[in-house]
Structure 1
Amino acid sequence: MKLTVIGTGYVGLVSGVCFALSGHHVICVDKDEEKIKKLKQMESPIYEPGIEELIELNLREERLSFSADLQDSVRHSDIIILAVGTPSLPNGEADLTYIEGAAAEIAKAMEGHKIIMTKSTVPVGTNEKISKILAKFTHHSFDIVSAPEFLREGSAIRDTLHPDRIVIGLDNPELEPTMRELHKGFTENVFVTDIRSAEMIKYASNAFLATKISFINEIANICEKVGADVTEVAQGMGMDQRIGSSFLQAGIGYGGSCFPKDTNALIQIAGNVDYEFKLLKSVVEVNKGQRFMIISKLHESLGSLRGSTIGIWGLAFKPNTDDVREAPAREIVEALVAEGATVKLYDPIAATNFRQQYDHPQLRWCNLPEEAAEGSDAVCLLTDWSLLKDIDLHQLAKSMRNGVLIDGRNVYSKEQIEGTGLVYHSVGRPQMGGLSGYSASVAGAV
């Protein structure tokens, strides 16, 4: 099939590349001509493992092209895929400016029947708005389809090529065979529903996963007080098929471009129909507070942070991405600066993006994790990059001024910590190398 994908961010570029890989002819369109120029040179504007190799392969096979000319691309395609951004407005609602603008441009370019497929995450009812915009600017016929994406940054290609399911929302049942053919080879698990339900499935899925994360973080906080180990608790819970093991990793909370945006948007969607989503509001509140657990543990070990030096390992909201949007690191670093600490920052991929958004005279930028730790009073691990799991912790302790290690992602095991001399804090696990709050209270009582 002949496709035009509008938008070359995570969703648009990965979708375009993967549709081309499955044999379709794809034009990826973006207004940013500099971005298009780089894509033609096989340089990806996003960090995603394997993306540049697939761009090169598809360009060589002449199944993929890049253009800044939306009108020409629309005219040469049968299916137009909307994959533009829907960022949050100050009140939490999704900003549909890019969606509405793209819809108007598509309509003006149409010279015959087109299928408009929305992959951007949009509030319930948005595709009806798109339909009205199209009808306003064109007399040609069209069909609207909602096909929300469920990819994860860092594993976006795998998630697109091998999804758990594909959700297709449509109001014209005659489109179903075409949509199944378009996604043929990805999975046979295709769920076809109406458009409004498809729009809601995306928000409901992300809200539920965010709820699991905040829930296990609340359990972790209780575990610390009663002397239980949240990793053991999560493993036992996850063995129940009704619960499942995914998204039960305690830590410093979720971030990125999806969960914060989509949870806030769903709260607003509910509010717009006079429903207070109390559970999801609590999920968001718990997540906002969880990252500051890092600051509390630093105070517990060091007291005042004024004049201290704190190393930070990891700035991206998760490993295998350079995305720092809503990353816990941002608020943690800002809090450390506000308390008068010098902060040494390391991230293998995301440092440049972080520095573009936030820089300060108290920040020191490091090229190696060991550099960020050397001479520091404490090191805080905020992103569980795989390379950090193999750090020599004995050598780490020797290089630090005060050997405090705050593991915000529960990366290290008891065996790795024992004998290092580090004062080690993790999330929801008994403290290693010192008395936990629970143990201390028992000892005091005795």
Structure 2
Amino acid sequence: MSRPVIGFAGMTHLGLSSAAATAERGFTVIGFDLESERIESLKCRALPVVEPDLPELLERNQARLTFTDRIDDLAGCDVVYVSPDVPTDDQGQSDLAGIRALIGRVDAALRPETVLVVLSQVPPGFTRSLSRQAERRFYQVETLIFGQAIERALHPERFIVGCADPEAALPKPLADFLGAFGCPILPMRYESAELAKISINMFLVASISTTNTLAELCERIRADWSEIVPALKLDKRIGQHAYLAPGLGIAGGNLERDLTTVCRLADARGADAGVVRACIANSRHRRDWALTQIHERVVPRQSNPVLAVLGLAYKQDTRSTKNSPSLALLAALKPFAVRVFDPVVPARPEFHPRLVGAASALEACDGADALTIMTPWDDFRRLAPRAIAERLTGRTVIDPYAVLNAEDCRAVGLDYVTLGVASITGGV
């Protein structure tokens, strides 16, 4: 029995990662994008995103994965996922014009029996508003996490599928495709599926906000959040996989988009979104943590310090700087000279008027009065505190994500501070 041919329209992060993982699962895949330059780059393996394992999957599956800018090539597909990244503005509001236009063009190119699935994240009500016949129109919750996209696409926890009729059987091509992954399939009405994605992110936001609130309290009462975490994970109501790592608020675009969507929907329908707005306020408060440390620990000793900042991406394993805490920090450090290094994001003048881009992490430390590590790249975890101490002029290391070993920093005389624990002071 032949397997369905799967198409993906939109070769940005979501679509490209999904297409590569689908080919790795043994399916014939058509990857379509309207931008000819992007398709030519993909054919040359010049990837528009940084994602672990993606280059290897593309290389390994050349025979199964075809990239094209010819929309008519999608006519040979049994299932087509519409999968562009949906941009958001500074307020977290989605711009849906692009995906609506793409769906219109894709829909016109497909055979009547082809199944169309919206994979991009859209607000409740979007999928039902589309014109394609209901029994061939679906929404599927995407599981994209930058830096983990391939792993999650290859081994999904479950498929959440929005349908016109959740009681009806899924079309055979879609059922065969999803069934090949061996995970639960949860059909539900369109709006439930669209809100399910937001709901997952809201619970994550609640965990982040609670963790950050308690981690800040730890810093002020000489408690240590890392000692508390194991106790929480052994509570079955919380669990081993709970997100309990303190951070610098909510970064990236997806979570902020969902916060905005929930507030907008609640306001329009008279529901209370106070808890969501509290999470937004907490995120803004914690985003300034590193800046507060600089003003409390560095500026009183050196009124015009040189600062080293490692990391520009909003998280490791991506080049995205959307809502990056590092860029927010740089914007607040304009009076000071800053030396910056990120392994994939180049330093640009618009980030800071007195910015110097370094060729390495240690070079960024040269002559700096303090070091702040704003992205937990694995490369930074391999830095030796002694080597850092030898390069710095000052002694302060601000390490919110605990990239470095605190004891090793103290041993070489560094004044070390991280989230969720009282600071460790070195010998100077």
TM-score range, shorter-chain basis?
over 0.9
CA distance in 2, matches of 1:49, 1:148: 22
Asked if residue 423 in structure 1 is aligned to residue 420 in structure 2, the reply is no
- In structure 2, distance between residues paired with 1:306 and 1:79: 61
Mapped contact 1:423–1:433 kept (Cα < 8 A): yes
Aligned-pair identity (%) = 26
TM-score by length of 2: 0.93
Q: 1:168 is matched with which residue: 154, 161, 164?
A: 161
Instruction: Note if 1:329 corresponds to 2:307.
Output: no
Q: Distance in 2 between matches of 1:101 and 1:308?
A: 50
Unmatched runs of 5 consecutive residues or more in structure 1: 136-140, 436-446
Counterpart position of 1:290: 286
Is the Cα contact below 8 Å between 1:213 and 1:250 reproduced in 2?
yes
Of 166-175 and 368-377, the range deviating more from structure 2:
166-175
Whether the 8 Å contact between 1:121 and 1:199 is mirrored in structure 2 is yes
CA distance in 1, matches of 2:365, 2:89: 38
Cα deviation for residue 428 of structure 1 reads 1.5
Paired with 1:363 and 1:37, the residues of 2 have a C-alpha distance of 34
- What is the CA distance between 1:434 and its match in structure 2? 6.5
Q: Deviations over 1:116-153 (max 9, x none)?
A: 1011111111001123xx47xxxxx8611111111211
Provide the residue aligned with 1:369 in structure 2.
361
Equivalent pair of 1:213/1:248 in contact (CA under 8 Å): yes
**2:25 alignment counterpart:** 22
What letter matches 2:98 in structure 1? Y
Any unmatched runs of 5+ in structure 2? Answer: none
Shift in alpha-carbon separation, 1:112–1:189, aligned structure 2, 3 A: closer
Please identify runs of 4+ aligned residues in structure 1 that moved more than 6 A.
Answer: none
- Aligned counterpart in structure 1 of residue 244 of structure 2, from 230, 238, 248: 248
Q: Which residues of 2 match residues 35-114 of structure 1 at below 5 A? A: 35-59=38-62, 61=63, 63-70=64-71, 72-89=72-89, 92-114=92-114
The one of 267, 273, 298 aligned to 1:271 = 267
Task: Tell me the equivalent position of 1:237.
Answer: 232
| Partner residue in 2 for 1:146 | 139
Aligned to 2:152: 159
Q: Which residue of 2 aligns with 1:443?
A: none
| Structure-2 separation of matches of 1:359 and 1:315 | 9
| Conserved? CA contact 2:401–2:418, under 8 Å | yes
1:176 Cα deviation from its structure 2 partner: 5.7
CA contact (8 A) 1:4 1:73 kept: no
> Does the aligned pair in 1 maintain the 2:92–2:253 contact within 8 Å?
no
Q: Judging changes above 3 Å, is the alpha-carbon distance between structure 1 residues 90 and 414 closer, same or farther for their aligned structure 2 residues?
A: closer
Distance 1:379 1:269, change over 3 A: same
Cα distance between partner residues in 2 of 1:34 and 1:178:
31
Aligned equivalent of 2:255: 259
Give the counterpart letter for 1:310 in structure 2.
L
Q: 1:308 aligns with which of 279, 286, 305?
A: 305
1:4–1:79 CA contact under 8 A, matched in 2: yes
What is the DSSP-based 3-state SS (H/G/I as helix, E as strand, rest coil) of the residue aligned with 2:308? strand
Distance 1:111 1:189 in 2: 29
Q: Secondary structure at the match of 1:384?
A: coil
Separation in 2, partners of 1:58, 1:434: 52
Give the match for residue 397 of structure 1. 389
> Contact conserved, 2:78 with 2:173, CA < 8 A, in 1?
no
| Alpha-carbon separation, structure 1, partners of 2:160 and 2:110 | 26
1:379 matches 2:371: yes
Summarize deviations over 1:410-444 as a string: whole Å, max 9, x none: 22334222321111111110211179xxxxxxxxx
SS class of match (1:266) = helix
2:147–2:316 CA contact under 8 A, matched in 1? yes
Alpha-carbon offset, residue 296 of structure 1: 0.9
Contact 1:251/1:410 (8 A) holds in 2 = no
**Letter paired with 1:106:** V
Is the partner of 1:395 in helix, strand or coil?
helix
Which amino acid is 1:81 matched to?
A: Y
Q: Deviations over 1:2-36 (max 9, x none)?
A: 22211111110111111122222211111221110
Distance 2:90 2:366 in 1: 40
